[in-house]
Amino acid sequence: MARIGVFVCHCGENIARTVDCARVAEALADHPGVEFSTDYKYMCSDPGQSLIKQSMKEHRLDGVVVASCSPHMHEKTFRKAVSAAGLNPFKCEMTNIREHCSWIHEDRAAATEKSTDLVRATVERVKYNQALSPITIPITPRALVIGGGIAGIQAALDIADAGREVVLVEKEPSIGGHMSQLSETFPTMDCSQCILTPRMVDVAQHPRITLHSFSEVDAVDGYIGNFDITIRKKARRVDEDLCNSCGACMQACPTRKIPSEFDAGLGTRTSIYVPFPQAVPNVPVIDEPNCLYLKSLARRRKSKKPARSRKPVCQRCVKACGPKAIDFQQEDRLVTEKVGAIVVATGYRLYDIGREQDEPGISGYGEYGYGKVPDVIDGLQFERLMSASGPTGGELRRPSDGKVPRHVVFLQCIGSRDPAKGMEYCSGICCMYTAKHVLLFKHKVHNGRATVFYMDIRAAGKGYDPFTRQAMEEPGVQYLRGRASELYRDGDVVRVLGVDTLSQEAVDIKADLVVLATAIRPQKGIQDLTRKLSVSVDHHGFMNEAHPKLRPVETATAGVFLAGACQAPRDIPDTVAMASAASSKVLALLSRDELEREPQVALVDTANCSGCFHCERACHYGAIEHEEIKDGQGRLIRVVARVNPGVCQGCGSCVAACLSNCIELQGYTDDQIFASIQAI
Amino acid sequence: MNIGYYPGCSVHATAREYEESLKAVASVLDLGLDEIPDWSCCGASSAHATNHLLGVALPARNLALAEAEEMTRVLAPCAACYGRLSNARFELGRDQALAREVGVVLRRPFRNSVQVVNVVEILQELLPRISQRTVRPLAGLKVASYYGCLLVRPSKVTGFDDPEAPTSMEQVVDATGAVSLQWNKRTTCCGAGLSLSRLGSVVRLGHAILNDARASGARAVVVACPMCHSNLDFRQAAINRSRQHGAPGRAGELPILYITQLVGLALGIAPSKLGLQRHFVSTRPLLERLLEQQGMEVA
Amino acid sequence: MDPTDEQRPILASQVLERVGRDPARCYQCGKCTAGCPMSAEMPIKVGQIMRLVQLDRRERIFRDSSIWLCLTCETCSARCPMDCEPATVLDALREMVVQRDPALLPVRIRAMHQAFLAQIRKNGRVFEMGLVMGYKVRSGALMDDMTTAPGLYARGKLALTPRKLRGIADVQRIFNACGAQVGSGVADSLRYLGSRR
Amino acid sequence: MSNQAPSAARGPSADNATFEPRIVAFVCNWCTYTGADLAGTSRIQMASNVRILRLPCTGRIDPLFVMKAFERGADGIIVSGCHPGDCHYIVGNFHARRRFRVFRELLDFLGVDPERITFSWVSASEGGKWAQVVNDTTRRIREMGPMESWPRASTALDDDLHG
């Protein structure tokens, strides 16, 4: 007969107000297998835990049920206490009678009855609980950082400075990310590049950082402590080791009218290019669709005719290059790296108001002309127009005719808080960057007028509110509360129809330039990466943290951490803080030689396994392995399934899929669950 | 191809030329129009604004009659009728309780199986045929396509084109050889709902629309709705007289054509068969210029 | 019943029940007012009406002409970021006035709807000359617009005699079954006008 | 274990006016369980007829659990997990969905009204939605009345399945 102890917690008044805790304890006292049953004011307090330990000894308990709050709150607490008293921690279970009962019901009798039912079901379950011991796995003491924006740079430097090796993967030709495109940063107005570029150089020169630029993560295998990463190094067609960054190739390149990604389409570049002068690595890349030579090769391949003339098309860069670093034969290359932990820092992209959207459920702004109205730009374009390194050398000139705009209208919340467009969340940073834009504009165009349409000003960071106040109180600046209904081109101005909802005054503005504070979205193709990493995303595509409050940089996949805007819209200070937090989590993990894990994993009864491998198809983690059973002479008898406990996450899909009923999920066995159902 | 046809009250009176031109064009394009027998008024905004059930039941009666004739699609040339019929279909599709209630009121079997289409939609389907059978391309005629409200809004009810940046009318206009202009007031309301009771508003709204069309260089405005037509044609004299809303009409009168009239002209149908003589704003100068141009082209 | 229901302003709940659109979702961005073609003429703008619904200020809404100036052009609904469909909310408000307190309808609007529905009830279709006559008599706006009627006639655009439906009884039955109130007879309207003078 | 009979005041002859259904909810640990926790911390009041059983993932739910629950006197079942695409275990909820599509047909075949089972998606942030699922299901099952025929039918079935 089992000897189970039941401990019913009052949680002060929280439970006791609606649940008669003494009656619950009483009802359970006579239940078969219950040796001891009591109630107490605060079970999680020191005296409460002592009560449990004491009773365990006194009554020689072999199972413990604590009826109190959610196990998400205190399961660890009570299992630790039970363990301290000498019992396997997995012999302790909780019943949630607070969140799932006392807080959601008013009828005392019904709540008491429900609590009793729930505790009884747990008691029945605990009878079948087995002693489990944690699993240990070895650790590779290196980290992978995906994304070389400010988040990835910070994380890589923190980890490498602490003495661990880092592999940094960046998909663009240079690290730096969006921060390198900004002119100034709020609320201190320091120059973005001035504070960022030294860090980029640190990354390039760090002995413990391996940088794979113009590369993407192709495949992720393995599990926490032991990931195998396949990285695709895209064909740069310039040898990184030979190139001396002289720039002669770019001087020689005849295609000069290609819209520059770095200048958000407002400036131009050549087809062999470095995105910006301070790029790291400062090695050019050849843009295949635009390079005359590569285009001619593609044409020839298409027409399948033998080359009429042997004369090479263009190839002026090859002639110009002293160290002979240009290699048109170069192709994508796969390299593999072993790491123990992964930091995802893939950042964001801006929402586009265009008619065509890359995701179902999201639509553009037809009322704002779907982005086809000239002189309507987004915030990143405005940054480039303001930046000393930008296409206008830091002079504000509007795209259509190069005139200096006198009246600029800023529209906030474009694609933010707009469920009708499929974009319901607040992008968090736009109030601040719009205030920054206003101040920058007033700084450059002294007699200019700025009108800002805002919905609410969200400026809760340190020094943020005074910053937005400064913008609002600036002469020539008018903040209007409301969304503009419509904008359209009228001659050489853009008409903006809106209303100030505080005064109910309608406004019809003739603007010279309109700047849209467009929303932040996860990077394109993020679903592809999250699938490889087994990380889940929310319905907007932002990656899910393990717990919104208590585990903000961890993911549900052990060993994978998050930094920056891949998790939610973030500004620079938050991003950097998050990157350092993720690094400290990585370092905590990599500071050990091996790793303990919760033992709630699946286990195959190999004697009964028929080898159908339905479980393998059900397992998303690839935790099912093939095990060969051999006889005494080493001859193969049959192949059965085996669960790799390091990879198994304990979802139980394999258990439900097993045709011969021979997989059990430890901690959630059929016996345990049926016992609960019986009792409920 | 044959299609069910719901004329609506206005095409038998103020919008007579709309039906005349529609029928003429349909015949050239081999589109058969099967009129719903004994159709009744859709209730327009009066039923809709005052009694929700009536606002659904009146259009539903007509859809039920069409269904009884085994029509799968019904063409409603009037944008207001199109809006009411589409709305009834939409609401009955999503609201089971309402569908039961309307069933009781109608006292006739109704499965809500009839689709409702507007004139632009059907012309869009027939684009290749229009291009093929165009004998008098309206080359050089600058046209502002005016959608108004009811063709494109509410978009979840009509499901037709983009409510903010539609393109269907321009596609039809382009098929006639005329030139579609970019302008800003294409989907701005003309105020038809208050046409009888509040002339001042109608004048103000019409003024803004006509001025924007003129500013874009339009020689004619094309519409697909009797309300829009009456507000911009019948009321144009009042609009042009008014000076309280900024500059008066910049270049005098601007003819308002039904899209079927425009297509009819391109198909070579005689202007009188298209009812072009029935307009308040004379279409004669426009027609003369067109003929002259074509004459010159021939020569 | 959800106990939180009782804490909601009653007008918002009534609107929600009638038309399935929840005015409580409105966060007052003003996009509806900004795009509304009638804003300039409305004493209470559409966005304000949404707010007053949230505040349960039915008197202010119902005693004002604004909801009757709505053109039902649906621009507000098309652009509302919260999908509140202000136009639909206004439909509900107008219907509430018609059903509960028709005396609050502005005379001309009431007259137009009456004339219109009376036409349909009587003939099954709208016969415009009759409509204009009916409206004039009901509204008292006897001379406006009369000058243009001959213009319409000359262009063959006005039929002077009504054409009746075969199935007119069918239509009339629908009216009765729906309990349509506004479309009362001319005599009734004259009485109504008389009482106002 | 015979003394663990359901404790609700309801016999086979209970009349529907006072009938309080017993409903068992199988929920995943990550989304719905946490969502139900949120309903609690937000103090959203709801019907007290539902008893939650926590599982790591809806993918772990064996249709036999549901049949067992009916056999033990449940009048209704809720199966609730993460939204499609949001599964903590990436695709566990898809496995569950696929399995239950087949299972529903089986129930129908056995004479159990599939309406007695609610399938829903409740995320960790949808406390209000969880309350709605609980209230709607309770209301519906109350209208349907007690589940009478199942225990008899199922004993035979149980033998078949386990035998």
Q: Going by beta carbons, is chain B in contact with chain A, meaning 3 or more pairs sit under 8 Å apart?
A: yes
Whole-number pLDDT of residue A505? 93
Nearest to D87 by CA among D101, D97, D100, D102: D97
State which of A146-155, A592-601, C4-13, C156-165 shows the largest mean pLDDT.
A146-155
List all residues of chain D from 84 to 113 with a beta carbon under 8 Å from chain A. Answer: 85-92, 95-96, 99
**Which pLDDT band holds residue A306 (cuts at 50, 70, 90)?**
low
Q: Which of D40, D61, D99 sits opposite A104 (nearest CB)?
A: D40
Mean pLDDT of chain B: 90
In a domain, C128, yes or no: yes
Average pLDDT in the B159-164 region?
Answer: 91
Q: Which CATH architecture has domain A349-521?
A: 3-Layer(bba) Sandwich (3.50)
CA distance A540 to A550: 22
Which subunits count as partners of chain B given 3+ CB pairs below 8 Å?
Answer: A, C
**Which amino acid is located at B158 in the chain?**
T
CATH of the domain at B224: 3.40.50.11810
**For A396-439, how does the pLDDT look when each residue is reduced to its tens digit (9 = 90+)?**
999 999 999 999 999 999 999 999 999 999 999 999 999 999 99
Nearest to A482 by CA among C48, C31, C32, C40: C31
Q: Which residues pair with C177 in a beta bridge?
A: none
For chain B, say whether A493 makes contact (Cβ under 8 Å): no
8 Å CB contact of B165 and A490: no
In a domain, B299, yes or no: no
Q: Check pLDDT > 70 for residue B230.
A: yes
Which subunits count as partners of chain D given 3+ CB pairs below 8 Å?
Answer: A
- Report the Cα A550 to chain-centroid distance in Å: 16
Residue at token pair 């298209």: B274
More confident residue, B47 or B112: B112
Whole-number pLDDT of residue D90? 65
In a domain, B298, yes or no: no
**Which pLDDT band holds residue A309 (cuts at 50, 70, 90)?**
low
Structure tokens at B295: 């004459």
- B59 with B176, same domain? no
- Residue B115, domain extent: 2-119
Burial class (CB in 10 A: 0-12, 13-18, 19+), A223: buried
CATH 3.40.50 fits A4-126, yes or no: yes
CA distance C5 to D46: 13
- Chain D residue closest in CA terms to A648: D89
**For D69-90, how does the pLDDT look when each residue is reduced to its tens digit (9 = 90+)?**
988 889 999 999 887 766 767 6
Whole-number pLDDT of residue A233? 97
Structure tokens at C174: 């629908």
**Which pLDDT band holds residue C153 (cuts at 50, 70, 90)?**
low
Average pLDDT in the A307-333 region?
Answer: 86
Whole-number pLDDT of residue D162? 44
Percent helix, percent strand, percent coil in chain B, to nearest 5: 55, 10, 40
Q: What is the largest CA-CA distance in chain B?
A: 67
Q: Check pLDDT > 50 for residue A665.
A: yes
> Count of domains in chain B?
2
Q: Check pLDDT > 70 for residue C118.
A: yes
> Count of domains in chain C?
2
Whole-number pLDDT of residue C195? 37
DSSP-derived pairing of the beta strands A624-630 and A663-665: unpaired
Whole-number pLDDT of residue B299? 31
- B154 with B265, same domain? yes
Say which range, A313-327, B87-101, B279-293, C129-143, has the weakest mean pLDDT.
C129-143
Whole-number pLDDT of residue C154? 65
User: Which domain-ending residue is among C50, C74, C103?
Assistant: C103
Whole-number pLDDT of residue D147? 82
DSSP-derived pairing of the beta strands D76-81 and D23-28: parallel
CA distance B29 to B7: 18
Whole-number pLDDT of residue A73? 87
Whole-number pLDDT of residue B242? 75
Q: Catalogue the E-assigned strands of chain D.
A: 23-28, 50-55, 76-81, 117-121
Q: Check pLDDT > 70 for residue C180.
A: no
**For B186-222, how does the pLDDT look when each residue is reduced to its tens digit (9 = 90+)?**
999 998 877 767 888 888 999 999 999 999 999 999 9
CATH of the domain at B51: 1.20.1050.140
- B40 with B58, same domain? yes
Which subunits count as partners of chain C given 3+ CB pairs below 8 Å?
Answer: A, B
Whole-number pLDDT of residue A119? 97
User: Which domain-ending residue is among B119, B140, B167?
Assistant: B119
Say which range, A2-11, A51-60, B149-158, has the weakest mean pLDDT.
B149-158
In a domain, D95, yes or no: yes
A523 DSSP assignment: P
**Which chain A residues are within 8 Å of B165, Cβ to Cβ?**
355, 366, 369-370
**For A598-633, how does the pLDDT look when each residue is reduced to its tens digit (9 = 90+)?**
888 999 998 888 889 989 988 877 889 999 988 888
User: Which domain-ending residue is among C103, C127, C143?
Assistant: C103
- B224 with B252, same domain? yes
8 Å CB contact of C34 and A484: yes
Structure tokens at D8: 């609700």
**Which pLDDT band holds residue C97 (cuts at 50, 70, 90)?**
confident
**Which pLDDT band holds residue C189 (cuts at 50, 70, 90)?**
very low
A-C CB pairs within 8 A amount to 65
Topology alike, domains A142-224+337-347+547-590 and A349-521 = yes
More confident residue, B119 or A651: B119
- C146 with C99, same domain? no
Average pLDDT in the A241-246 region?
Answer: 94
Q: Check pLDDT > 90 for residue D11.
A: no
Q: Check pLDDT > 50 for residue D3.
A: no
- B90 with B212, same domain? no
Mean pLDDT of chain A: 93
What is the distance in angstroms between the Cα of B3 and the nearest Cα belonging to chain A? 32
- C34 with C88, same domain? yes
CA distance A169 to A225: 19
8 Å CB contact of A366 and B164: yes
How is chain A split into domains, by residue range? 4-126, 142-224+337-347+547-590, 248-331, 349-521, 599-679
Structure tokens at D7: 């404790």
Secondary structure (3-state) at B266: helix
In a domain, D6, yes or no: no
- Residue D105, domain extent: 23-162
Whole-number pLDDT of residue D12? 40
Whole-number pLDDT of residue C137? 59
User: Which domain-ending residue is among B57, B87, B119?
Assistant: B119
Q: Where are the alpha helices (DSSP H) in D53-91?
A: 63-71
Instruction: Calculate what percentage of chain A has a pLDDT beyond 90.
Output: 81
Whole-number pLDDT of residue B243? 63
In a domain, B65, yes or no: yes
- Residue C98, domain extent: 11-103
CATH 3.30.300.210 fits A599-679, yes or no: no
CATH fold for the domain made of A142-224+337-347+547-590 = FAD/NAD(P)-binding domain (3.50.50)
Whole-number pLDDT of residue A22? 96
Residues of A in CB contact (< 8 Å) with C are 367, 413, 417-421, 455, 481-486, 497-501, 504, 506
**For A533-570, how does the pLDDT look when each residue is reduced to its tens digit (9 = 90+)?**
878 788 889 998 988 888 999 987 889 999 999 999 99
In a domain, D119, yes or no: yes
Q: Check pLDDT > 60 for residue D21.
A: yes
**For D40-50, how does the pLDDT look when each residue is reduced to its tens digit (9 = 90+)?**
988 999 999 99
8 Å CB contact of A482 and C80: no
- B147 with B226, same domain? yes
Mean pLDDT of chain C: 78
- Residues ≥6 apart with Cβ < 8 Å to A375: A398, A399, A400, A405, A489, A494, A511, A512, A513, A514
In a domain, C5, yes or no: no
Q: Check pLDDT > 70 for residue A96.
A: yes
Whole-number pLDDT of residue B249? 45
**For B128-143, how does the pLDDT look when each residue is reduced to its tens digit (9 = 90+)?**
999 999 999 998 899 9
- C66 with C135, same domain? no
**Which pLDDT band holds residue B41 (cuts at 50, 70, 90)?**
very high
List all residues of chain B from 142 to 181 with a beta carbon under 8 Å from chain A. Answer: 162-165
**Which chain A residues are within 8 Å of C47, Cβ to Cβ?**
499, 501, 504
